[in-house]
Amino acid sequence: MFYRPEDGHGLPHNPFNAIVAPRPIGWISTRGADGSENLAPYSFFNAVAYTPPQVMFASTGAKADRDGTKDSVTNIRDTGVFCVNLVEYALKDAMNQTSGPWSREVDEFTDAGLERSECATIPCSRVTAAPASLECRLTQVVPLKGKANFLVLGEVTGIHIRDNILTNGMIDPTTYAPLARMGYRDYAKVEEVFSMNRPGQS
Query: What's the closest the beta carbon of residue 33 comes to ligand FMN, in angstroms?
Result: 15
What residues numbered 126-165 form the site for ligand FMN, per CB under 6 A? Answer: none
How far, in Å, CA of 154 to CA of 150, rounded? 13
Residue 31 found at the interface with ligand FMN (CB under 6 A) = no
Using CB under 6 A, pick the residue from 32, 47, 60, 180 that binds ligand FMN.
Answer: 60
Residue (of 123, 155, 156, 124) closest to 140 by Cα position:
155
Residue 59 found at the interface with ligand FMN (CB under 6 A) = yes
Residue 38 found at the interface with ligand FMN (CB under 6 A) = yes
Q: Phi and psi at residue 56, in whole multiples of 5°?
A: -140, 155
Residue 43 found at the interface with ligand FMN (CB under 6 A) = yes
CA distances from 3 to 8, 25, 53, 165, 171 (A): 7, 28, 37, 43, 41
* Beta carbons of 139 and 152 less than 8 angstroms apart: no
Using CB under 6 A, pick the residue from 63, 116, 126, 137 that binds ligand FMN.
Answer: 63
Can you give the binding site for ligand FMN, defined by CB under 6 A? 25, 38, 40-44, 58-61, 63, 70-72, 96, 99, 101, 181
